[in-house]
Structure 1
Amino acid sequence: MKLERLLSIIILLLNRRMVQAKDLAEQFEVSTRTIYRDIEAINGAGIPIVTYQGTNGGIGLAEGYRLDRNVLNNDELAAIVTALRSISTSYGNEQHARLMEKMSSVVPPAYAEEFQHKTNRVLIDYSPWDGIERLRSKLQLLNDAIDRCLVVKFIYSNAEGEVTDRIVEPHILIFKGKSWYVKAYCVAKEQFRLFKLHRMKALEVDAERTFTRRELPSQEQAADKSSHDTSQQMTEFVLRFHDDSRHVAEEWFGIEEMMPMEDGTWQVKKAYREDEWLYSFILSLSHHAEVVEPPHLREIIAHRAEQIAKKYRNNETT
């Protein structure tokens, strides 16, 4: 990802007098245009980088400049390595491993044991239980397309089961609610859309078709925005859980969301956009949850549960 690449470039420039843009492009598997954009970003962060022209030219730090070791203290270095290790559970590559090694190498020997302890006490594992390779290949392909500003195309199945062919300009990868998404400008819809990677298949990069990055609408830039379209009406609903199913409610909604009732049951009140995803989610709670309100949602879930039971009863008689 871009942050790891920027940090790696800074460390390389600290250790070398000069490097070639094409060598950096080959090392990080991006275009030279991307490297020059990275250099501009590093300059913008206050680290002066100079481009030397000529046969023996290249990219280097301004003469006499040195990065103050105190810019990052030991705890901050440990936090960066911990974050990189966590990201690598679903988005790892050789660059991440090299960067973690370089970050660890600048730690004073006297602090090495404590640093090792700090970087191994927390791991946020983003990888799914059923394997990561297929998802990882999509992430790497999309990340490359974003870096090189290349158009991608794929077949997409949305939450309502509609299947469409999409051609998009990918701008940013987002991890939200246990899933990876790509925020991209949809050529057909002429607006930014959020696409879930698990719903994409036949993903291809059009190496001959580039695009100019667009400015993301301000409401799309915030990382804490819901992946659902908040312009659509939200449905408030109440779920009931009996005491022997309390652990299921705690797993999905957290202890703070649970309200104890006089009859010994527990209730959870939430508001989501009402669509196929919501129906499937409630049904996935199986017999543990019962829709109390609103009546129309209770009827929909009851009808679908009856259809499921009917299929199983029919199978028993065949």
Structure 2
Amino acid sequence: MKIDRLLSIVILLINRPLVQAKELADMFEVSVRTIYRDIESINGAGIPVVTYQGANGGIGLMEGYRLDRNLLTERELADIFTALQSISSYGGSEHTMLMEKISSVIPPSQTAAFRSKTTQLVVDLSPWGLMGPLEERISLLKTALMECTAVSFEYVDAEGRVSRRSVEPYTLVLKGQAWYLYGFCTERADFRLFKLLRMKDLVQEERSYVRQDLPVKDLPWTDRWSLPSNNPPAVLHFSAEGKHLAEDRFDTAELQPDGLGGYTVNVHYPEDSWLYGFLLGFGNAVEVLEPEHIRRRMGEIAAQIAAKYL
């Protein structure tokens, strides 16, 4: 759209002293003549664009021109910029232009200070290594969300059951280093939370839907499920050799020294397949002391694993 191109040109001119018309034409895949017509439109809107001739010439804004930045403070702009950097670390390249816009309202005299504020906190959501198929799923789901179209996929639940689902997507959720889709499942006639890594053959359907208002509370990714009142405690013991694993996962205030170099810790998690996978992830560094039925089940799973290697 022309208006998007005009705004993008203005942002680039604010951030760079001079830009060649040919560079702009290549960037937006239009002719140089179209770029010059765009410059005329920008001038007509009251934004002072100047064209400099010669080998070192180009297109630029009148010196000293800046967008009005009174709406947000510099600290607020830095916080927004940091948040956008975090999103962009996981396939959010569409936010690059917005980050350019934010940078454009910072006066040159404050650029260094602003850059310092935006690098004080780094939140990189991308995993180690390549994202591959997961990034493709996120991109497809973002498109479906924007266009309000349903998606379908084969889903493997936590118990290993496979089913085909058609879902009206509402929200992408990053929770506990895993991505989820929250949406209305037509097969269950209710809202459900789906883990992206358990999806296969994800496709965008042609069917569109009218988005409903989501409830403001009791959403499945809130912490209500983990409240101690909702789940009985389990007592774990970490050996001295595995204490570093406990320190990586739990706050020091939760860890109780056992007098032998290890720790005990009380946890409140729902008892399901996730819990056993979580505990097994610590290997032989952890022992379940209570409750007895979880301790017994861990022993059974460990024996089954051992039998595979005998």
| Structure 1 partner of 2:164 | 165
RMSD: 2.9
State the 1:91 CA deviation: 3.0
Q: Is the 8 A contact 1:237 1:292 kept in 2?
A: yes
Question: TM-score, with normalisation over the residues of structure 2?
Answer: 0.75
Contact between 1:160 and 1:275, CA under 8 Å: does it hold in 2? no
What one-letter code is carried by the residue in structure 1 that aligns with 2:99? M
Match of 1:126 in 2: 125
Matching residue within 290, 295, 300 for 1:298: 295
* Contact 2:68 2:105 (8 Å CA) reproduced: no
Distance in 1 separating the partners of 2:115 and 2:216: 39
Determine whether 1:71 maps to 2:71. yes
User: Secondary structure at the residue paired with 1:115?
Assistant: helix
Q: Which amino acid aligns with 1:97?
A: T
Equivalent in the alignment of 1:96: 95
2:193 is aligned to: 194
Give the letter for the 2:118 counterpart: T
Q: Can you list the C-alpha shifts for 1:8-39, whole angstroms capped at 9, x where unaligned? A: 98x949x69xxxxxxxxxx9xxxxxxxxxxxx
Q: Secondary structure at the match of 2:269?
A: strand
AA matched with 1:218 = V
CA distance in 1, matches of 2:138, 2:200: 13
Q: Indicate whether 1:266 and 2:234 are aligned.
A: no
Q: Aligned letter for 1:87?
A: I
In structure 1, the gaps of 5 or more residues are 1-7, 17-26, 28-59, 61-66, 314-318
> Deviation of residue 135 (structure 1)?
1.6
Report if the CA contact (8 A) 2:69-2:106 is conserved: no
Offset of 1:130 from its aligned partner?
3.7
State whether residues 236 and 271 of structure 1, in contact with CA within 8 Å, keep that contact through their aligned partners in structure 2: yes
Take 1:195 and 1:222, find their aligned partners in 2: how far apart are those partners? 11
| Distance in 2 (alpha carbons) for counterparts of 1:229 and 1:153 | 30
- CA 78–222 in structure 1, closer or farther in 2 if over 3 Å, else same: farther
Describe the shift of the 1:118–1:223 C-alpha distance in structure 2 as closer, same or farther (beyond 3 A).
farther
Larger of the two Rg values belongs to structure: 2
2-structure distance, mates of 1:176, 1:154: 21
**1:222 deviation in Å?**
8.4
2:290 is the alignment partner of 1:284 = no
> How far is the alpha carbon of 1:88 from its aligned partner?
1.0
Distance in 2, Cα, partners of 1:199 & 1:282: 20
Task: Give the superposition deviation at 1:110.
Answer: 0.2
Amino acid at match of 2:74: N
Asked if the contact 1:149–1:210 (Cα under 8 Å) also holds between the matched residues in 2, the reply is yes
| Number of positions where the alignment pairs a residue of Structure 1 with one of Structure 2 | 254
Identity of aligned residues (%): 40
| Structure 1 CA distance for aligned equivalents of residues 120 and 261 of structure 2 | 39
Q: Tell me by how many angstroms 1:265 deviates.
A: 3.0
By how many angstroms is 1:247 displaced?
0.8
Q: Is the 8 A contact 1:156 1:166 kept in 2?
A: yes
> Paired residue for 1:214?
212
Which runs of structure 2 are paired with 1:17-28 in the superposition (5 Å)? none
Q: Which residue is equivalent to 1:135?
A: 134
> Runs (4+) of structure 1 moved beyond 4 Å?
220-223
What is the alpha-carbon distance in structure 2 between the residues aligned to residue 306 and residue 140 of structure 1?
Answer: 41
CA apart distance, 1:101? 1.5
* Structure 2: runs of 5+ lacking an equivalent: 12-27, 29-44, 46-66
Task: Verify the 8 A CA contact 1:238 1:293 in the aligned structure 2.
Answer: yes
Deviation, 1:233, is 6.1
Distance in 1, Cα, partners of 2:204 & 2:232:
38
Specify the SS of the correspondent of 1:91: coil
